[in-house]
Amino acid sequence: MDNEYVHLEHDGKLLLVDLDGNGPAKPHMGRNSSENGHIIRLPTVEEVSTMGIIWKLRRVNRIRLDSVEYVVNYGIPEIPWPEDWAWKDSTISDSGVDPLARESVYRTIHRVVSKVVITNTKKEVLMAKVSRGFFTGCWTLPGGFVDYGEHPREAAIREAMEELGVEIEIIDPTKSQEDASNYEDGAIVQTKIFNDEGINWVSFTYKCESDLVGQDISPKDDEIEEARWFSKDEAISVAVSIFDIEAIKMHLG
């Protein structure tokens, strides 16, 4: 098949080849190849076979660059750790690496989101109707992307304030932020790849029990259309994210 390539990765090492299919090839971080063009790329299925590498297919991604669609087979090579392969992190800053290879590496980076199930004494769930982004016009739990260097618990607290203007406390039953060896921090952790673009989402969902006494729920103008309390069944019915649905079910029993 034309435009079909292989992404073989082993503990941070990625197989790249030169334009003639010879490898392994290594990027040079910071290289500017504006004169020479792209000189390193992902190998084809045939090129991997020629190298005698046996590998196991994990998934297939479809990546569109400009008007061209590529098929990238993500696989695990059945070989010892390939010291002479490229560090995948070094592909990003070498302009000599073909854009498909760089995009392929980009697709392997997890997208981490953190949310919170806020419940009141009536066992109702606070949800927000989103006015932009992936779930425009839909009801979701308060939350969003985890910032670089931020703990998911703090991200959920921050997002509740940014989206709804409410200050919440998420109890840490094990003090996991202080003790990295303890992972039972009360979050429901889910992961899923939703389509053949290959973006992998990791979701942390916490629980906060509060009537928000003395606080006004103030939806963020450019992000949240409205916010409302729902019964458990209503919340599950209106939620569109499978992460939200499962978290509500699990947190509320």
Tell me the DSSP string of 85-122.
Answer: SEEGGGGTT-TTB-HHHHHHHHHTS-EEEEEEEEE-TT
Q: Report the pLDDT value the prediction gives residue 183, as an integer from 0 to 100.
A: 44
- Least Cα distance to 113 among 59, 40, 190, 175 occurs for 190
The pLDDT-based confidence of 116 (bands split at 50, 70, 90) is very high
- 124 and 245 in a single domain? The answer is yes
pLDDT over 80 at 149, yes or no: yes
**244/205 Cα distance (integer angstroms):** 8
Tokens in use for 125? 């769930």
How many structural domains does the chain have?
Answer: 2
Rounded to 5°, angle at Cα 61 from 76 and 28: 65
This prediction has a pTM of: 0.82
- 142 and 199 in a single domain? The answer is yes
- 175 and 209 in a single domain? The answer is yes
Domain that holds residue 188: 111-252
At which of 69, 86, 107 does a domain end?
Answer: 107
The identity of residue 121, as a single letter, is: T
Strand partners, 213: none
The pLDDT-based confidence of 226 (bands split at 50, 70, 90) is very high
- 118 and 99 in a single domain? The answer is no
